[in-house]
Amino acid sequence: MVHITWEQLCSPCARLLLALILFGAGFALKALWWIAVIVLVVWLLGFVVRTADSGGRWYRW
């Protein structure tokens, strides 16, 4: 019968958990970068559209 110690069981599990955490963090950061780029484009388009619409004023008073 083969006896597996706690260290032999925990080491691969810890490596797998670390790999999953890093993969998830990388995916989340990539998704956040795409969201940031989309928000930046919409923000810049807002300046262009508002400038043409309101005669060049960017404030509302």
Rounded Cα distance between 3 and 1, Å, is 6
Q: What is the DSSP string of 9-43?
A: HHHHHHHHHHHHHHHHHHHHHHHHHHHHHHHHHHH
Rounded Cα distance between 5 and 23, Å, is 28
pLDDT of 57: 62
Question: Over the stretch 20-32, which tens digit does the pLDDT of each residue have?
Answer: 999 999 999 999 9
pLDDT of 33: 95
Q: What are phi and psi of 33, to 5 degrees?
A: -65, -45
Q: Please check the confidence at residue 7 and state whether its pLDDT lies above 90.
A: no
Question: Over the stretch 39-59, which tens digit does the pLDDT of each residue have?
Answer: 999 998 887 877 655 565 666
pTM above threshold 0.85: no
